[in-house]
Amino acid sequence: MIGGGGAAPRAATAAPVPVAASSSGCSLPAGSQDVSSVELSPPAVVGWHQVGNMEVPEAPATLGPEHESGGWFYCYQHSPGGALLAAIDVWASGTAATAGQVARHLAVNVTPQALGSDELPPGLSLAGYQFMSYTPRDAVIEVVFDVYDRGDVEVTTPMVWVPGLGDWRLDIPASGSVSSAVVDPSLAGYVAWRLS
């Protein structure tokens, strides 16, 4: 799912694979839709938990994830902070599962191109993020990871709110991949967020 080029415009494709629902439904109340709350500093979390080979932030009673089923984490708050935690979880899940497995559980608009067999490298850790856009329906977030052999790499992550699930999902571009690029180690322009 990670590619080197820009995201392609959406085009007509084969019918998407149905979205997997959480095992017991999502019930976190919606939060503020004001993206300014996370544009300068990370949202408040209660701790970090292991997903695949990564430590990821969590706030189960507010931002999410509210539920875990079979190693997959679901139910993030309808808010910018919820979208951010869900986006981070998508890539963390990719350190332990194939792109196809991640797409089936955590994405929409799943096309054959997205159902690859690649896994992300194990040496990933969260470094920061930047919101490119946010509406109550969708968000585009550049999530930055410290990659063991490449330095800091941003992955442009489009997320969409799925009302029927009450959850955020990765909105896979028609190309089947999202763009990524190495960024300056200073993280200028990004909100730094590392496990301390």
Q: How many domains does the chain have?
A: 1
Residues 101-131 have pLDDT tens digits of 898 899 997 765 555 545 566 678 999 999 9
Residues 33-49 have pLDDT tens digits of 999 999 999 999 999 99
Are 46 and 64 in contact by the 8 Å Cβ rule? The answer is no
pTM of the model: 0.84
Residue 96, class by beta-carbon neighbours within 10 Å (0-12 exposed, 13-18 middle, 19+ buried)?
Answer: middle
Return the higher-pLDDT residue of 11 and 175. 175
**Strand pairing report for 67-69 and 47-51:** unpaired
Residue showing tokens 């019918």: 15
Phi, psi of 57 (to 5 degrees): -70, 150
Please check whether residue 39 lies inside any domain of the structure.
no
Please check whether residue 23 lies inside any domain of the structure.
no
Residues 73-89 have pLDDT tens digits of 999 999 999 999 999 99
Please check whether residue 133 lies inside any domain of the structure.
yes
* Least confidently predicted of 55-69, 126-140, 153-167, 177-191: 177-191
Mean pLDDT estimate for the chain: 83
Domain that holds residue 58: 2-6+45-192
Distance between CA atoms of residues 1 and 114, nearest Å: 6
Q: What percent of the chain has pLDDT over 90?
A: 56
Residue showing tokens 């300056």: 184
Please check whether residue 55 lies inside any domain of the structure.
yes
Please check whether residue 33 lies inside any domain of the structure.
no
